[in-house]
């Protein structure tokens, strides 16, 4: 029974990596659609989000079955509960990528961003891509240096998020209300994407060290 249990735990870990990989693909497509007004990429991201949702539901059902049938205790129980929470964060990251693609689709054939603010968003996207890439590597290797990288990238995203709002409040910002709303929402989505990456990293770090700090 113990070998079966460990195999099931390993499968849960593999499914987390699979979901995270799809989230990375979603963010790549969403950023291309958002920065370049690529309607095909936007539609692809929006359509593929259902796959992330399905895999998260499947993982959660597997984890609940393990809880019901195997009766795990101590560290094994922590692993299962953490996996449930991490799958929720990853699914939310996929939703945030979809939201960005939806902004691009609504504004097509125009770009959602102005040329003046695009460089800030390019940096935010690059950092979020580094975060999800580090999440995948962390889930696979359990190497906590990736957790440190994620926190550093998120700190920079926070700075850029504040810079967006400074730009919106500047006297020379004279764009339409719709553009302002799009910029505000997109910045928030990218900032929250990073938050969920940090959440996953903290839970994985706890599983590795036993220290919740």
Judge whether residue 56 has pLDDT over 90. Answer: yes
pLDDT tens, 159-189?
999 999 999 999 999 999 999 999 999 999 9
- Are the C-beta atoms of residues 43 and 105 closer than 8 Å to each other? yes
pLDDT tens-digit series, residues 20-44? 999 999 999 999 999 999 999 999 9
Domains of the chain: 2-209 (1.20.58.220)
Q: How far apart are CA 93 and CA 98, in angstroms?
A: 9
Distance CA 211, CA 70 (A): 25
Q: Give the mean model confidence (pLDDT) for residues 37-60.
A: 96
Sign of CA dihedral 163, 168, 169, 172: positive
Burial class (CB in 10 A: 0-12, 13-18, 19+), 164: buried
- pTM for the full predicted model: 0.93
Give tens-digit pLDDT for 105-124: 999 999 999 999 999 999 99
The predicted-structure confidence for 143-152, as pLDDT tens digits, reads as follows: 999 999 999 9
CB 124 within 8 A of CB 190: yes
Distance CA 160, CA 114 (A): 16
**Share above pLDDT 70 across residues of the chain, in percent, rounded to a whole number:** 93
Q: What is the pLDDT of residue 73?
A: 64
Q: What is the mean pLDDT of the chain?
A: 92
């Amino acid at each position: 029974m113990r070998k079966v249990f460990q195999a099931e735990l390993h499968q849960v870990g593999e499914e987390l990596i699979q979901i995270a990989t799809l989230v990375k693909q979603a963010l790549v497509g969403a950023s291309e659609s958002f920065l370049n007004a690529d309607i095909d990429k936007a539609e692809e991201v929006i359509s593929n989000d259902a796959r992330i949702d399905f895999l998260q539901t499947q993982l959660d059902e597997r984890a609940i079955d393990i809880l019901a049938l195997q009766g795990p205790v101590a560290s094994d129980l922590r692993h299962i509960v953490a996996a449930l929470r991490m799958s929720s964060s990853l699914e939310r990251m996929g939703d945030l990528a979809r939201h960005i693609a939806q902004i691009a689709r609504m504004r097509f054939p125009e770009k959602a961003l102005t040329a003046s603010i695009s460089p800030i968003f390019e940096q935010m996207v690059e950092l979020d891509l580094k975060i999800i890439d580090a999440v995948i590597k962390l889930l696979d290797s359990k190497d906590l240096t990736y957790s440190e990288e994620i926190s550093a990238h998120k700190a920079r995203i926070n700075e850029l998020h504040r810079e967006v709002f400074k730009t919106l409040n500047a006297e020379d910002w004279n764009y339409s209300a719709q553009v302002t709303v799009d910029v505000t929402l997109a910045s928030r989505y990218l900032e929250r994407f990073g938050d969920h990456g940090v959440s996953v990293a903290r839970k994985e770090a706890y599983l590795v060290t036993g220290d919740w700090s």
